[in-house]
Structure 1
Amino acid sequence: MAELFDQTVFLKFLAAVLAIFNPLYNIPIFLSMTKNCTAAERRHVAVVVMISVTVIALTAVVIGEEVLGVFGIDVPAFRIAGGIIIFGIGMSMLKAEDRPPGDQAAMDDGHERKLNFAVVPLAIPLTIGPGTIAITIVFSHQLSNGAEIVTLGSAILIACAIVGLGLLFADQISRLLGETMINVLTRIMAILLVAVAVEMVLTGTFHAIDAHYPGLVKEGG
């Protein structure tokens, strides 16, 4: 079992995924979009969001790298691109405004359509988007086929369960923490995201240089 579970990667990936998911960040959106729902309907929306995010994230673990291969994209290049995306997400969370324009647009669109907004936009793209998929594929590349499912799958299940619990108890959490504390915690998560993004870009750059110009990095050092 030790070969199938990498504790270091698990903890690092769990922290990164929770920072991207940021359950507290989506609570105000969830409460706003479900304000006219009954308690049972709100619970149903929370469960659908949790299941949708889990399925998408696990799919990225299992076939994400294979999809890159179909398009001829190598992991170092994808690591750099994913790092840039995650850096943008983190920086938008650090800004003073309460909600990035893209998230606000998705929220407004969900109101206007008056359809089932649990999957779109609450699950996609407000909870899981390109940044989550990118970091999932990057981490899965570090592990063997069996280990990526056990290690990353376990982290995803825990992170998605936390997201689901956050939405199920959104009213209580919102009253307990208040808007100011939620904003503070969101910015702490944002700093973690920016750090993860910088590491992804630097690592991807070194790997790309080493792949195209073998020995150059070692010789330069």
Structure 2
Amino acid sequence: MSDVDLAVLMLLALIGLYSPVAAVSSYIPLLQPVDARQYQRLAVGLFLTVAAVAVGTILVGEPLLELLGLSAAALSATAGIALMIAAVPLMLGRTDDHASASTGAALAPPSASWRSMLFMPLAFPLTVGGATIAVLVGFRAQVDRVSGILALVIAALVHAAITGGCVYVAGTTRRRLSDRTRMVADRVAGLLLTAIAATLLASGFTRLAVDALTALGVLRR
């Protein structure tokens, strides 16, 4: 698989995991107390926050692997498992988006500034979570060239731009999406994520098996 193909696959995984339609509907109740003139600043702030986390995760992925003594194959398999756990409930329509949206509204103060909610709860946990980090590190573990790392960084920046755009859309629309629209978007995202998770699992476990057989002398590099 080429560097570009891997970057596109990572972007699709991040977008599917993020689920923009569901994210917009979750952002709306939080943004009600925010002044309309602050929406653009909030969108830019979320873009910069997500970009910093994603790019930082990609750039330190390899040193982190070496520090922890983890193999790229093991991390790829782990990312696949984490993605699968998040994808299956989406695919089956068993999400808690309505609950998170309603509880999220309680987190917003009566007259909030965009800075007061940028890091929490908008960036964490509504936008970036453990599964997102696992996907970023898992894909980073599969590249070893500068061109591959650059492609992943560009994909991460595109994903960050999408998150910022979703906040801006949520702020300007100020209305909830229909339940049916959210359900369809979630199930499509779940199907896509499940397929990507299966790809990561197969790749990771295959390389783990090859490494084990090589260590036993059954196979040679």
| TM-score (structure 1 length as normaliser) | 0.82
From 65, 87, 100, the counterpart of 1:90: 87
Deviation at 1:60, TM superposition (A): 1.0
Alignment of 1:120-199 (within 5 A): 120-170=120-170, 178-199=178-199
In structure 1, C-alpha distance between the alignment counterparts of 2:46 and 2:99, rounded to whole Å:
19
The unaligned stretches of length 5 or more in structure 1 are none
Deviation at 1:176, TM superposition (A): 9.7
Counterparts of 1:143 and 1:183 in 2: how far apart (Å)? 35
- Tell me which residue corresponds to 2:206: 206
Question: Secondary structure of the equivalent of 1:144?
Answer: coil
Give the match for residue 10 of structure 1. Answer: 7
Partner Cα distance (1:171, 1:210) in 2: 50
Distance, in Å, in 1 between the alignment partners of 2:169 and 2:93 is 26
| Residue type at the aligned position of 1:206 | T
Which residue does the alignment assign to 2:107? 110
Q: Root-mean-square deviation (CA), in Å? A: 3.1
Deviation at 1:26, TM superposition (A): 1.1
Counterpart AA for 2:15:
L
**When the two structures are aligned, how many residues end up with a matched partner?**
214
Q: What TM-score comes out, normalization by structure 2 length? A: 0.82
1:129: Cα distance to partner?
Answer: 1.6
CA contact (8 A) 1:26 1:126 kept: yes
Task: Tell me how far 1:46 sits from its aligned partner.
Answer: 2.4
CA deviation map 1:22-72 (0-9, x unaligned): 222211221111111111233333222221111100011100221122111
Contact 1:61 1:137 in 2 (8 A): yes
Mapped partners of 2:68, 2:167: distance in 1:
36
Other structure's SS at 1:164 match: helix
Q: Residues 93 and 186 of structure 1 are in contact (CA less than 8 Å); yes or no, is this contact kept in structure 2?
A: yes
Note closer, same or farther for the CA distance 1:85–1:32 as it changes in structure 2 (3 Å cut): same
Q: Give how far 1:142 is off.
A: 2.6
Alpha carbons of 1:142 and 1:191: their partners in 2 closer, same or farther (altered >3 Å)? same
**8 Å contact kept, 1:166–1:173:** no
Unpaired segments ≥5 residues, structure 2: none
